[in-house]
Amino acid sequence: MDGLDFDIAHLFAGSLVLVSFMMLYQDRLYALLNVFALHSIVLAFSVGWQAHIQDAPQLYITTAIAFVFKGIVIPVALHRIIQRLGIHREIETVIGIGPTMVLGIGFVALSLAVMLRVTAEADRLAREDVALALSVVLLGLLMMVTRRNAVSQVVGFMSTENGLILAATGAKGMPFVVEMSVAFSVLVAFVVIGIFLFRIRERFDTVDAQALDRFRRTQE
Amino acid sequence: MHDLAVQGGQLLLVLLMAPLLTGFVRKVKARLLQRQGASIIQPYRDLARLLQKDVVLADNASWLFRLAPYLIFAATWVAASLVPTFATSLLFNWTADLIAIAALLGSVRFFLALAGLDVGTSFGGIGSSREMMIASLAEPAILMIVFTLALVAKSTQLSTISEVMLSAHVGLRISLGLVLVGLIIVAIAENARIPVDNPATHLELTMVHEAMILEYSGRHLAVIELAASLKLLLYVSLIACIFVPWGLVGAEAGLGSAAYVVKLAVGGAMLALFETLTAKMRVFRVPVFLGAALMLGLLGTLLLFVSRGL
Amino acid sequence: MSATLILWCVGVLLAAAAIGTATARLAAARPIVYGTSLVASVVALAGALDGLLGAAPPSGATLPLGLPWLGAHFRVDPLAAFFLIVVNLGSAAASLYALGYGRHEPAPHRVLPFFPAFLAGMNLVVLADDAFTFLLSWEFMSLSSWALVMAHHRVRENVRAAYVYLIMASFGTLCLLLAFALLAGVDGAYGFEAMRTHQAGPTIAALVLTFALLGAGSKAGLVPLHVWLPLAHPAAPSHVSALMSGVMTKVAVYGFIRIVLDLLGTPEWGWSMVVLALGGITSVLGVLYALMQHDLKRLLAYHTVENIGIIFIGLGLAMAFQANQVTWAAALALTAALFHVFNHSLFKSLLFFGSGAVLTATGERDMEHLGGLIHRMPLTAFTFLVGCVAISALPPLNGFVSEWLTFQAILQSPDLPQWGLKILIPGVGALLALSAALAAACFVKAFGVTFLGRPRSPAAANAREVDRFSLVTMFAFAALCLLAGILPGLVIDGLAPVVRGLVGDRMPVQLAVPWLSIVPIAEARSSYNGLLIFLFISFSASLAVYAIHRFASRALRRAPPWDCGFPDARPITQYTAGSFAQPIRRVFGTTVFLAREHVEMAPPGDRRPARLTVELRDLVWETIYAPVAGTVDAIAGRLNILQFQTIRRYLSLVVAALIVLLLVLAIWL
C-alpha cells in the first residue's frame, strides 16, 4: 500500500471526525446546517478516494449521492423550511459545551481502543477507516442525545449515517454498498419529511394540502 | 566554534529583530485598515524614549516589582535564543527541549502575574486572574501539541523535530495539521493578540496583558515591552521551525537567515490579517477557544495512533 | 550498621518523648525536646545517607520485642534508606523550626510529648521488615499525629478534624492489615523476606493491591480518600503540618511501593491503569479544591493531594512499563516519582514553615485578612516565593525536573502493546499538564494575596519578621530546592540503587553526562540542563540591569499608584483570594463543584449593600461520605435498643448465643 494513498485516505477520514466535532459545538441552526453540508462533502471526497484506490467504480455513485443529495439538496431544503416555518433557531444543549466535547474525545478514544484491538490482523487501511467511522457514529449519536432541538437531532442522525457509509466503503469488497447508500438516503428523506409534517400539523392543526393552501391565500 | 557563532548570532538576531517584527505587524494592520500607520522602526524609537524617562513607582511597590521586568526579559531571551531560527546547530540547544521552553514561558507568566498583584490595584488583579485562567488552558494545549510532535519525531528536541519534518518519512498527516492550528491558537492566546486580548487597548473590559503592566513606566516598561516582542518572535520562530523548516538544516547561514526573514515577514503579515478580520472575544469565550486547541491536540494524538507507522 | 544506628536514634527520640511528658510545662523543656529531636534526626539522616550512597549491603537488626516467636525485624535497604532520608530531613528541619516557632505555642504540654514520638513512629514504619512491626509502627505514627492534631482542642473544628482523621486512619490500618494477612498466606509468614519469595496467585495479588491502594492511599491522600487531609493538616501546629503533609504522606507512598512493587512482584498491567486514572483525577481535583480555598494552610493541604496524584501517576507508569518488561522506561518513571517525593517534601515543608511564620507574625491564616507582608516580612516572603516557584514546576528549580521526567516517561507510552494503556496515558498526560498549570495559578494567588498588595487588616499592617531559627530553616530548604533543580543529576544517580532494587534497571549514569545535564534516554531524544538555564537567566538579567543602568536613565521617584487615573487607596478595592479564583471557578467550578453565584442587589433607592454569595459543593463528600455516615448512623440508631434492655433480656441473649454455638458444634462434628 503506497504511503501517500494511505495518508490521503487518513486525511479525509480524520477530517470527517474533526467536522463531527465542529458540529458538536455549533449553537446556531444555520451554521449547523452549513457544517453538516461540509461533513457530507468531506464524506463524498473520502468515498471518491476509496473508489479510486479500490478500483470500484460503483462507489462513484455513492460519492455522487453524498455530494449532491446530502451535501447540497438536504441542507438547502432544511434551510428553506426552517425559514418558512419560523422554527426556533437557537440550539440548547443538555450539558454544557465543555463537558460535551470532553465526552466526545472520550468516545473517540474508546472507539479507537476497541476497534484497533478487535481488528488487529486486518488490512491497515480498513482498520483505520472502521475505527474512525465508529468515532463518527458515536459523535453523531452524542449529538442526538445532547440536543433539545428537533432539527439538530435529525442532523445528528444524518451524520451518524455518514459514519456508517464511511465504514461500509472502507471495508473493501462489501456488496450492496451503493444500494445501502440509496436506501439510507431514502430513509433520511422520509425522516425529514416526517418531522416537518409533524411540525406543520402542530402549527396549523392540519396537514391537508387544501386547507394549507387556503391558509396561505388568506395570509397574502 | 561554528556552533558558538551560530548561538551568539541567534542571541543578537532575536533581540534586534523583535521590535522590527512588532513594528511590521502594526504597519501591515494599519495598511489593511486604510491608514498610513507608524513607521516600521517606531518600536525602536519607543524603546529608546522609554529608556530615557524616569521610573515612577507606586508608594507600596516592592523589590519584586522592580526585579520582575529583568527576570521576565531574561527568561524570554533565553527561551528565544534556544528556538532555532536560521540554523539548528545551536551550541546550547541540548540545554532545553520544547517542554522546558514552554515551562520557561510559564515562569515569565508567573512573575508577570505577581507583578500585576504587587501594587494592590483592582486593574492588576483583573489582569493577573484572567491571565492565569488563560494559562490554565493554554499550557495543557501546548503539552498535548508537544506530545503529538514527539510521537512523530520520537524526540522533544527542536533540532531533531525540524530534521524529521524535513525528511520524506513524515508524509501528509492530518494530525500535524490539527497540531498546527492548535499551536496558532495557543500562540495567539499567549501573545495577547486579538481575539483573546487587544494589545492596543487600555479599557478595563478588554485588558489582560496590559492590565498587569499598567503600573510600569520608564525603563521597566521598556524592558517588559521588549520581552513581549521577543515572545511574539519566539512563537513565530517556533511555528516556522516546526512546520516550515526549509532553509534550517544543512544550508549555510546566509540562505538560512534570508529564509528566516521571509518566514517572519509572512507570519507577521498573516497575524495582522487575522487580527484585522476577527473581533475580540468576550473573556469567558476564551476558555472555549483554548479548549478547542486542547481538543485539537488530543485529537491529533488519537489520530496518530491510527496512522501509519504506529 | 545503619539499621542499628537509626534504631538508636529512634530510642533517643522516644526518650525525648518521655522527657517531654514529664517536664512539658517547664520553659526549658522546649529547647531540650526539640534540640534532642534535631540531633537525633541529623544523626539518622547521616546513617540513611550512608545506607543509600555507601557501598555496604543492606543491614538489618532484630529486637526481641513484640510477638515472642517473631521478634521485631528492622532493615535498611536502598528503598528504606531513601525514605529515611526524606523523613529525617523533614524531621530535622521541623525540629529546628520549632526551636523558634515553639515559643508561641499556647499548649506546649500537648505538643512536646507527642512530637518526638511522631518522628520515632515515622522512622520505625520505614525501618520495619515484617508485617507486625510495620502495622504497629503505622498505628503509633497515626496516634501520635492524632494527638498533635488535637493539641488545640478548644477549637471546635479541630476536634471534628481529629475525629475524621481517626476514623480514616483506622480504616487505612484495617486495609493494610488485610493486605498483609493475604500476603502472609496460610502459613502466617509475616517477615518481608518470606513474603517476597512467596508468589501469590492473581486473585490474591489483585486483592492485596486493592487493599494496599485503599490503605496507603487513604494515608497519602488519594481521591476519594483524601477528605481527612484538608481538615487535619491545618489543625495541627505549623511544624507538625509540615511534617504531616511533607513527610507522613511520603511514608504512606513508601508503604504502597513496598507492598506493590517489592513484596507483590509485578502486578498485571490492568492495575496500572487503575493507579494512573486515580493519580490523574487526584491531581486535578486536588488543585481545583486548593484554588477555591482562602485559608492558607488548607490551600497547602489540598495542594498536597495534587502532588500525591502526580507521584501516583509516576508509580502507575512504572507499573505499566514493568508489567510489559520495558524496564528502562519503568526505571525512568519510578525515578520521576521518587524525585517528586523528595521535591515535594522539600517545598511543601518550606511553604508550611512560611505559613507558620505568617501565622506567628499576624495571628491570621485567612488570606482575605492579609496582604502587603512583603514589606513587613521580606525574608519570609523571599523564601515563600522560592517555595511557590518550585511547587509551580518552573525552571530552573526542582519541581520542574520531576515534572519533566514524568512527561518524558509519558512520552514512552506509544511503545506499549496494550491499546488501553496507549490511549489512557496521553489522557493522563493532559490531566498532569492541566494540574501543573492550575498549580501555578494557585500559587500566584497564594503569594500574591498574602504577601503582595496592601494590608487588609491591622494584624497584617503590624506584622514583624519572625525569629532566626525559622528563617534559617526556611532559607536552608529554599537553597535545597535550588540545588536539587540545578544539580538534578546528583539526585537521579542517588536514586539509582533504589530503582534498580525495585525494577531491575536504572536510568543512565547522569554524572557522566557533560555539563551536568540530565539525559533520561539518549542525547538526541531529550536533555535538560538546569544549571546552565539558571546561569543563563542570571547572566542575562544582570547584563540587562547593567546595560540599562549604565547607558539609560537611572532616575526613580515614588508617587501614588496610577490605577488608570482613578486611584483609591482603600485596601478593600484590591483583588481578594475569591475574586482572583473567579475566572477559573467559572470555567472549571461549574462542573466540578456545581459552583453557583447568587447576586442580591437592593432595588434603586435602597442603601443596603449588594451581596454576592458563592455556593460550592463537595461532591466527593456528598456522594460517598455523607451516605455512608448516614447509613452507619441509621444502623446504629436501630441497634441502640440493645443498650436499654432489662437484665432478663440480656440473659436471654447470652443463652441464645450459647445454644447457637452448641448447634453449630453439633452440626459440624
Q: Has residue B309 got a pLDDT over 70?
A: no
**C436 contacts B139 by C-beta, under 8 angstroms:** yes
Answer yes or no: are the C-beta atoms of C151 and C213 closer than 8 Å: no
Q: Which residue has the higher pLDDT, B16 or B163?
A: B16
Task: State the smallest CA–CA distance between residue C418 and chain A in angstroms.
Answer: 8
For chain C, the straight-line distance linking the first and the last C-alpha, in angstroms and rounded, comes to: 54
pLDDT at C149: 93
Question: Hey, is A212 helix, strand or coil?
Answer: helix
- Answer positive or negative: Cα dihedral of B9, B10, B14, B15: negative
Q: Which residues pair with C612 in a beta bridge?
A: C599
Q: pLDDT grade, residue B239 (50/70/90)?
A: very high
CB–CB of A96 and C591 under 8 A? yes
Contact check, Cβ <8 Å, A116/C419? yes
Convert the pLDDT of each residue in B93-146 to its tens digit: 788 889 999 999 999 999 999 999 998 888 889 999 999 999 999 999 999 999
pLDDT digits (tens, 9 = 90+) for C540-571: 999 999 998 888 888 889 988 888 787 887 88
Q: Are strands B55-58 and C556-559 parallel, antiparallel or unpaired?
A: parallel
Residue A68 has pLDDT above 70, yes or no: yes
Tens digit of pLDDT for each residue in C567-604? 887 888 889 998 999 999 988 988 888 888 899 998 98
pLDDT-above-70 percentage for chain C: 100
Give the SS3 label for residue C228. coil
Alpha-carbon gap, residue C372 to B118, rounded angstroms: 8
- What residue has cell string 503579515? B269
**Among C164, C161, C167, C137, residue whose Cα is nearest residue C149:** C161
For residue C316, what is its C-alpha cell? 502507575
* For residue C234, cis peptide bond before it (omega within 30 degrees of 0): no
B127 close to C (CB below 8 A): no
Residue-level pLDDT at B251: 63
* Cα angle value C340/C443/B64 (rounded, 5°): 115
Across C566-595, b (16+ Cβ under 10 Å) vs e yields: eeeeebeebbbbbbbbbbbbebbbeebbeb
CA distance C86 to C313: 20
CB contact under 8 A, B124 and C385: no
Would you say residue A216 has pLDDT above 80? no
Cell matching residue C638: 436501630
**pLDDT value of residue B308:** 57
pLDDT band per the 50, 70, 90 thresholds, residue A220:
low
When scoring C384, C587, C588, C597 by the number of chain B Cβ atoms within 10 A, the one with the most, hence best to mutate, is C587
| pLDDT at C176 (0 to 100) | 95
- Measured between beta carbons, the chain C residues lying within 8 angstroms of B58 are 558-562
Asked whether residue C349 carries a pLDDT value surpassing 90, the answer given is yes
Kindly state whether B284 is in contact with chain A, defined as any CB-CB distance less than 8 angstroms: no
Mutation site, A4, A7, A8, A127, interface B, largest B CB count within 10 A: A7
State mean pLDDT over C495-515.
82
The mean pLDDT of chain B is 88
Q: Averaged over C476-504, what is the pLDDT?
A: 90
Per the CB < 8 A criterion, the answer to whether C419 and A116 are in contact is yes
Distance (Å, whole) CA C543 – CA C534: 14
> In chain B, which residue's Cα lies nearest the Cα of A1?
B308
Q: Which chains touch C (3 or more CB pairs under 8 A)?
A: A, B
Q: Give the count of Cβ contacts less than 8 A between chain A and C.
A: 15
Asked if the C-beta of B225 comes within 8 angstroms of chain C's C-beta atoms, the answer is: no
> Taking CB atoms and an 8 Å limit, are A14 and B298 in contact across chains?
no
How far does the CA of residue C419 sit from the closest CA of chain A (Å)? 5
Choose among C423, C587, C591: nearest Cβ to A112: C423
For residue A112, the chain C residues in CB contact (below 8 A) are 419, 423
Which band of pLDDT confidence, cut at 50, 70 and 90, is reported for residue B168? low
Please state the domain count of chain A.
Answer: 1
- What's the average model confidence in pLDDT over C210-226? 92
User: What pLDDT score does A204 carry?
Assistant: 67
Which residue is closest to C587 within chain A, CA to CA? A98
State the pLDDT at residue A208. 65
pLDDT (mean) for C393-420:
90
Residue C68 C-alpha from the chain's centroid = 36
Nearest-angstrom CA–CA distance, B136 and B159: 28
Q: CA A180 to CA A164: how far, in whole Å?
A: 10
pLDDT reading at A215 higher than 80:
no
**A142/A125 Cα distance (integer angstroms):** 26
CA distance, residue C475 to nearest chain B CA (Å): 18
Model ipTM value? 0.94
Mean pLDDT of B59-88: 91
CB within 8 Å: B151 and C414: yes
pLDDT confidence tier of residue A205, bands split at 50, 70 and 90: low
How many Cα atoms are found within 13 Å in the side-chain-facing hemisphere of C432?
32
d(CA B174, CA A117): 22
B56 touches chain A (CB under 8 A): no
Condensed to tens digits (0 to 9), the pLDDT of residues C506-543 reads 888 777 777 778 888 777 778 888 898 999 999 999 99
C398, C540, C588: which to substitute to probe chain B, counting the most B Cβ within 10 Å? C540
| Joined grid coordinates for residue C194 | 518470606
User: What is the model's pLDDT at position B63?
Assistant: 93
Q: For residue A99, give the nearest of C419, C422, C591 by CB distance.
A: C591
Question: B156 and C411 in contact by Cβ < 8 A?
Answer: yes
Quote helix, strand, coil % in chain B, to nearest 5: 70, 0, 25
Name the closest residue on chain A to residue C588, using Cα atoms: A98
User: What sign for the dihedral angle of Cα C86, C88, C91, C93?
Assistant: negative
CB contact under 8 A, A96 and C590: yes
- Sign of the alpha-carbon torsion through C241, C242, C246, C250: negative
**Whole domain around residue A89: which residue ranges?**
3-219
Nearest CA in chain C to B290: C587
What pLDDT, on a 0 to 100 scale, did the predictor assign at position C108?
A: 85
pLDDT at C113 over 80: yes
Q: Does C392 sit within 8 Å of B106, measured CB to CB?
A: yes
List residues bridging with C518 in a β-sheet.
Answer: C528
pLDDT at C377: 92
Instruction: Determine the Cα–Cα distance for residues A180 and C232; give it in Å rounded to an integer.
Output: 65
- When mean pLDDT is compared over C66-70, C108-112, C206-210, C588-592, the highest value belongs to C206-210
Query: Which residue's entry shows cell 444502623?
Result: C635
Contact C584 B78 (CB under 8 A): no
Q: DSSP string spanning C163-185?
A: HHHHHHHHHHHHHHHHHHHHHHT
Residue C243 CB contacts under 8 Å (≥ 6 apart), including other chains: C90, C91, C94, C118, C119, C122, C349
What are the C-alpha distances in Å from B63 to residues B67, B113, B223, C381, C640? 6, 15, 16, 11, 64
Per-residue pLDDT at A2: 64
Q: Give the pLDDT confidence of B281-298 residue by residue, as tens digits.
A: 888 888 888 988 999 999
Q: According to the model, what pLDDT value does residue A137 have?
A: 92
Query: DSSP string of C528-570?
Result: B-HHHHHHHHHHHHHHHHHHHHHHS---EEEES--GGG-----
Beta bridge partners of C61: C74
**For the CA atoms of C470, C471, C476, C477, what is the dihedral angle to 10 degrees?**
70
**Closest to B178 (Cβ–Cβ): which among A18, A98, A116?**
A18
Asked if the Cβ–Cβ distance from A7 to B171 is below 8 Å, we say yes
Task: Report pLDDT for A113.
Answer: 83
Q: Above 90 in pLDDT, residue A192?
A: no
Confirm if C456 and C370 have CB atoms less than 8 A apart: yes
For all residues of chain A together, what is the average pLDDT?
A: 83
Residues of C with CB under 8 A from a CB of A: 419-420, 422-423, 427, 587, 590-591
> What is the Cα C36 distance to its own chain's centre?
25
Partners of A117 on chain C (C-beta within 8 Å) are 419
Mean pLDDT of C212-233: 92
- Residue C611 β-bridge partners: C600
The predicted-structure confidence for A69-116, as pLDDT tens digits, reads as follows 888 988 898 888 788 777 666 777 778 788 888 889 999 988 888 888
**B280 vs chain A: nearest CA distance in angstroms?**
19
Region C235-245: mean pLDDT is 92
Confidence category of residue C409, pLDDT binned at 50, 70, 90: very high
CA-wise closest residue to C138 among C147, C148, C149, C126: C126
CB neighbour class for A73 (10 Å; exposed up to 12, middle 13-18, buried from 19): middle
Residues 168-187 of B with CB under 8 A from A: 171-175, 178
What pLDDT, on a 0 to 100 scale, did the predictor assign at position C89?
A: 95
B2-32 vs B42-52: helix axis angle to the nearest 10?
100
Tell me the angle at which helices B174-190 and B122-153 cross, rounded to the nearest 10 degrees.
160
pLDDT single digits (tens) B202-217: 676 667 888 889 899 9
pLDDT at B250 over 80: no
Nearest to B248 by CA among B137, B93, B29, B126: B93
Q: Going along C405-564, which residue ranges are E strands?
A: 556-559
Dihedral, CA of residue B244, residue B250, residue B256 and residue B260, to nearest 10: 20
pLDDT at B159 over 70: yes
pLDDT for position C643: 83
Whole-number percent of chain C with pLDDT over 90: 53
Q: Please tell me the least confidently modeled range out of A25-34, B228-237, C308-317.
A: A25-34
Structure confidence at residue B80 (pLDDT): 92
Instruction: Measure CB to CB from residue C420 to each of A98, A99, A113 and give the nearest one.
Output: A113
Give the best residue of B94, B215, B226 to mutate against chain C (max C CB count within 10 A). Answer: B94
**3-state secondary structure at position B261:** helix
The stretches of A86-123 forming alpha helices (DSSP H) are 97-118
Question: Which DSSP string do the residues of B271-296 spell out, in sequence order?
Answer: HHHHHHH-PPPPGGGHHHHHHHHHHH
B99-108, C111-120, C262-271, C595-604: segment of lowest average pLDDT = C262-271
- Segment C251-273 shows an average pLDDT of 89
Q: How many CB atoms sit inside 10 A of residue C91's CB?
A: 31
pLDDT digits (tens, 9 = 90+) for A181-190: 778 778 878 8
Tell me the pLDDT band of C630, cut-offs 50, 70 and 90: very high
Residues 6+ apart with CB under 8 A from C288: C438, C588, C589, C592, C593
Amino acid letter, residue C662: L
